Amino acid sequence: MAHRSYTFGFQLTPWVKRLIIANAVLFLLTWVAPGAWRWLAFEPARILVQPWGILTYMFVHGGFWHLLINMLMLFFFGPPLEQMWGGREFLKYYLVAGLGGAVFSFVFAFNYPVVGASAAVFGVMLAFAMNWPDMPIYIWGIFPVKAKWLIMFLTVIALMGALGGAQDGVAHFAHLGGFAAGFLYLKLDDRVTHKVRRLRKNLQKQKFSVATGGGPRRRPEPEEEALLDEVDRVLDKISASGLASLSEEEKKILDEVSRKYRQN
């Protein structure tokens, strides 16, 4: 993954703002009607009667400080990712990381209810560290720590808490699930990006000349060249805005040409 430069600012992006508002509203709801907490939490043992919990749990918090810390992390680390990926891709990644927390909780902490945006937020922090690993994060506003070391430290803490059976009220397995789901998602995206780069290389060779068994070199036919130009435009769009920016028609074009010119 290519590393990028970034300077922290305080401008909320649209989906980060919506997520913070949604979490705040749900917190107020559970404060006014405490019984709502049970219906919004994720309880692995009740998944068949309360399946919506795998999604709603990440918008419910156990207390004000729990909410505040998660939203502060989302406030700082979310906007640069949404600016880079776009709102739709950012939201998808956020939910994937949150669902990863639910999966790990189901597998490893079946008897415990889970609430909080921590798994999704931990996934966001991981994505930030993978894109800006050397960005200094100031702990308590004083001590600078590079993003990559901070995320490693948090991963170790979550792993120790999970394996040590910590009874501190912290959903360590959910945190690990957020890390794991986020990491796998980003690595899959890296593989897709690699395929796109390889396709671009193949198309560049095809556009300028096609060698035919040592014979004369030929240019593509006009229709073929127009198609290759269109694919080149789509590849530029992926480089600028990510895969999520493509329309269904553009994805079909990319698949068609990829199959046609794939190197065996």
Q: So which residues are the catalytic ones?
A: 118, 175
Among residues 60, 38, 42, which one has the least CA distance to residue 51?
42
Distances (CA, A) of 91 to 14, 55, 131: 10, 13, 17
How far apart are the C-alpha atoms of 109 and 104, rounded to whole Å? 7
In terms of phi and psi (left: phi > 0; alpha: psi -120 to 50; beta: otherwise), the region of 242 is: left
SS3 118: helix
Residue keyed to tokens 């991963």: 155
Distances (CA, A) of 240 to 34, 111, 169, 243, 248: 46, 45, 42, 9, 18
Q: What would the two tokens of residue 235 be?
A: 């590849």
Could you tell me if 120 and 69 are in contact, meaning their C-beta atoms sit under 8 angstroms apart?
A: no
SS3 208: helix
How far apart are the C-alpha atoms of 47 and 175, rounded to whole Å? 19
